[in-house]
Structure 1
């Protein structure tokens, strides 16, 4: 099989400490937004227990990450290409296993192998990570050029975000390539910007507004970035992408520790 190779693309992992923060909404709309800029994009669903991308995008999961198991130790660009489910021109998906119980068979080194080859096929790889720091999540974080850490503006969610930031520091991931995004900003039930800054103690890269009609778009199975590209949520995601992702950078995969030495070996 002949597979077109590209200059090394960028991996962006989207992580939230708990479900319900809008992680998949952000991941899917971010992938569509990057694709709309002319980039070739792959959206990877690593949330094996509660992965929703197939349902959200109304895709038939005939191929999933489980199909990577026979390729373990020899997963190349052709193998990576064999796992994709096309969604739109130049926007593909790699779907989570349908049965969460089957996902336990997938070793984390397969995730690492897959993320090593996908940047040769795509300009951007957007990873929708599970809401826990599993071995698969750590493989994605290690492979990534940028981490998007998501929270909603409620106090418990922000405390979880702060704990996530502290954990990443303990794991020797540096700060220079991560972005904190607050979803549903402006919600009447959320905290003020000043209260958020005091709790998080880290720069906020973007605030995605709370808009009542977002759940309706989810139920329709069409990302807002497709159905309503002028929507305030889509505009906020687009501004974030332009400011933090699409600029040319000499970043290497994985975080760099505060002392510049990179992540400590496991």
Structure 2
């Protein structure tokens, strides 16, 4: 029998050590991790698909234990969660069961009580997991939308513009998209999209205890470009009505209705938009490649870590207004921010965006570089959905396939590479042959002027011709010297030297001659 895998979420180290020691005495039960904060519990659960039971202590924070249980149950309906309570009263049991827990145990359970509770929960979990595995389509293990939260390192870096165009790109790819404006005091998505709507996220926060699909639909605005909009309050002071707990409930309901949820988190972090960062599948800090913005991005990522909202390595940074002429390029920006830098950037095309911002019409952006960059960013963030073959092929097989594709592509272009090399080398040979021919003709002309060049068969004439040739070929290097490839003649007062050029390209003749003529000046002239 496979051992039962459990995770403990306990902030009290003494209690964690005590329970861990008890579990060591129980056969077939393995504690795979102990986490001391709610966001770390949620992150670890996401990485352990075979986890059977999670035990959450009542005092775990910063998210209340019952809210964490609700979140875990929504994300993993087949996962059994048990609440560890200071006092296992009827009220505590009722509240835990309402949140989705499978049971409650006290801080000091007996060994048999601990074993029975965990075994019962694990049997339920494994039964549910088999059920979900049999009924869910391959490659679609989750039911929640992909949530991406964008936060600006500072004002003016393009967070809202990027969020809007990412939402449009995902919608154009056939995904159902909800764009949420969580810049609660200064949200300006309506201005960028030229919309007026009387409902906002504040209305949903007021009814957070009774949220359902109909209530959420009433608060949304459907934009003609595709995305559905959940807007910030029209009055900044209404932001105080939107609590972190309400945001969690709102986003949970919204994620159950869409494929993609994009949150514009603004630049000022409060409890509400911090919750959107904590819940996100991808938390991205948007910044420009300048020192003040990059320093702000670093401070923001570190603040997330200090407040236990999100670990610094789990926050990525995306550069906007990137240009090759910028003093700070991506490699330097990566060193300055500390957090992972995304592999895509958005180019600096303010003029291309100006008309769209002024008219509230994103479709007015015609710049091809910007549109391509947004498409690449959407794909990099997982907003466009995985291609079918990517969903079904294991990563190891996918890497092998990629390597094979590269090998095939290289084999296809190898003949072209060889041909280009031959062409370059052929040009070099022609240049060398021409140079040698010129030098040899000049030397032959000087030798003929001194010795003469009688074409007769006398011994002196033959000796003069050989001396002329000897002097000429001294100016030639390599295999061009032999009589088969280098010929010398005197025609109408000119020394004529012809040297054959080797031909490397297949299909052409084996050689052709390069001829150079130099006038013979008699020694008596001048």
TM-score range relative to shorter protein: 0.7 to 0.9
What is aligned with 1:54? 190
Larger radius of gyration: 2
Contact 2:149 2:284 in 1 (8 A): yes
Residues 55 and 187 (structure 1), Cα distance of their counterparts in 2 relative to 1, 3 Å cut: farther
Alpha-carbon distance between aligned partners in 2 of 1:165 and 1:218, rounded to the nearest angstrom? 29
**Equivalent of 2:272 in 136, 148, 151:** 136
Residues 169 and 106 (structure 1), Cα distance of their counterparts in 2 relative to 1, 3 Å cut: closer
Tell me the TM-score normalised to structure 1 length.
0.83
**Equivalent of 1:80 in 191, 216, 219:** 216
What is aligned with 2:287? 151
Alpha-carbon distance between aligned partners in 1 of 2:191 and 2:327, rounded to the nearest angstrom? 29
* CA displacement, residues 199-229 of structure 1 (integer Å, 9 cap, x when unaligned): 1233321211101322232112112xx3346
What is aligned with 1:264? none
> For 1:104, what is the secondary structure of its paired residue?
helix
Residues 229 and 212 (structure 1), Cα distance of their counterparts in 2 relative to 1, 3 Å cut: closer
Residues 153 and 88 (structure 1), Cα distance of their counterparts in 2 relative to 1, 3 Å cut: same
What is aligned with 1:202? 339
* CA displacement, residues 145-185 of structure 1 (integer Å, 9 cap, x when unaligned): 11121101110110111112222333262467543100101
* CA displacement, residues 6-51 of structure 1 (integer Å, 9 cap, x when unaligned): 9421111111132111110010001001101100101111112211
2:319 matched to 1:182?
A: yes
Q: Which has the higher contact order (CA 8 A, sep 6+)?
A: 1
Contact 1:77 1:120 in 2 (8 A): no
Residues 230 and 216 (structure 1), Cα distance of their counterparts in 2 relative to 1, 3 Å cut: closer
Contact 2:274 2:309 in 1 (8 A): no
Alpha-carbon distance between aligned partners in 2 of 1:46 and 1:172, rounded to the nearest angstrom? 16
Q: Which moved more, 1:167-176 or 1:203-212?
A: 167-176
Alpha-carbon distance between aligned partners in 2 of 1:178 and 1:186, rounded to the nearest angstrom? 23
Alpha-carbon distance between aligned partners in 1 of 2:331 and 2:192, rounded to the nearest angstrom? 34
What is aligned with 1:44? 180
* CA displacement, residues 68-90 of structure 1 (integer Å, 9 cap, x when unaligned): 14312222222222210110264
Alpha-carbon distance between aligned partners in 1 of 2:215 and 2:151, rounded to the nearest angstrom? 26
Q: What is the alpha-carbon root mean square deviation over aligned residues?
A: 2.4
2:209 matched to 1:70?
A: no
What is aligned with 2:357? 218
Per the TM alignment, residue 62 of structure 1 is displaced from its structure 2 partner at its CA by: 1.4
In structure 1, the gaps of 5 or more residues are: 1-5, 251-266
Residues 173 and 72 (structure 1), Cα distance of their counterparts in 2 relative to 1, 3 Å cut: same
Alpha-carbon distance between aligned partners in 2 of 1:168 and 1:24, rounded to the nearest angstrom? 20
Per the TM alignment, residue 110 of structure 1 is displaced from its structure 2 partner at its CA by: 1.6
Per the TM alignment, residue 144 of structure 1 is displaced from its structure 2 partner at its CA by: 1.3
* CA displacement, residues 129-158 of structure 1 (integer Å, 9 cap, x when unaligned): 121221011110122111121101110110
Tell me the TM-score normalised to structure 2 length.
0.43
Aligned length: 243
In structure 2, the gaps of 5 or more residues are: 1-141, 392-526
Alpha-carbon distance between aligned partners in 2 of 1:239 and 1:159, rounded to the nearest angstrom? 25
Residues 190 and 24 (structure 1), Cα distance of their counterparts in 2 relative to 1, 3 Å cut: farther
Residues 216 and 229 (structure 1), Cα distance of their counterparts in 2 relative to 1, 3 Å cut: closer
